[in-house]
Amino acid sequence: MTKDAFRITVLAISAFAASLCCLLVLLWRYDIEARANWLERVRADVPLGSDQQKIEAFLNRSLPGFSFDEDARRYIAVAPKGRWDDLLASRKVLVDLYVDQESRLKAADVEIWYQGL
């Protein structure tokens, strides 16, 4: 391999690595914003201590197709895909609403999964 070919190869690999790092930072930022947006929606529509009826009304309105896990005492819903999710076909945003024994909201969480990577 000539000296020029080596330089071009190193430059190409460096450019690829830099592009990959930028992509990962953008995905990380996109995930942080999605998590914050869903938690804010939950906080605004279903404050802590809300009853089962209010929780389910929110889920029916915002996150259709939810389920309830009896063992973990939580509602689980997959958020609708966002504008970039078609490019990230394996990305899923799960909204979890945890309830106490009286079926009142005690916590919320958002999980983001990339399947098949």
Tokens (6 digits) for 11: 């430059």
Q: How far apart are CA 45 and CA 95, in angstroms?
A: 14
Domain that holds residue 58: 3-114
> What pLDDT, on the 0 to 100 scale, is given for residue 12?
84
Cβ atoms of residues 46 and 63 within 8 Å: no
Q: How far apart are CA 92 and CA 112, in angstroms?
A: 6
**Cα→Cα distances 20→2, 13, 24, 27, Å:** 27, 10, 6, 11
Within 13 Å, how many C-alpha atoms sit on residue 33's CB side? 8
Query: 51-72 pLDDT, tens per residue?
Result: 999 999 999 999 888 999 999 9
> What pLDDT, on the 0 to 100 scale, is given for residue 86?
64
- Beta strands 105-114 and 67-69 are unpaired
pTM of the complete model beyond 0.85: no
- Give the count of domains, the chain: 1
User: Which amino acid belongs to residue 39?
Assistant: L
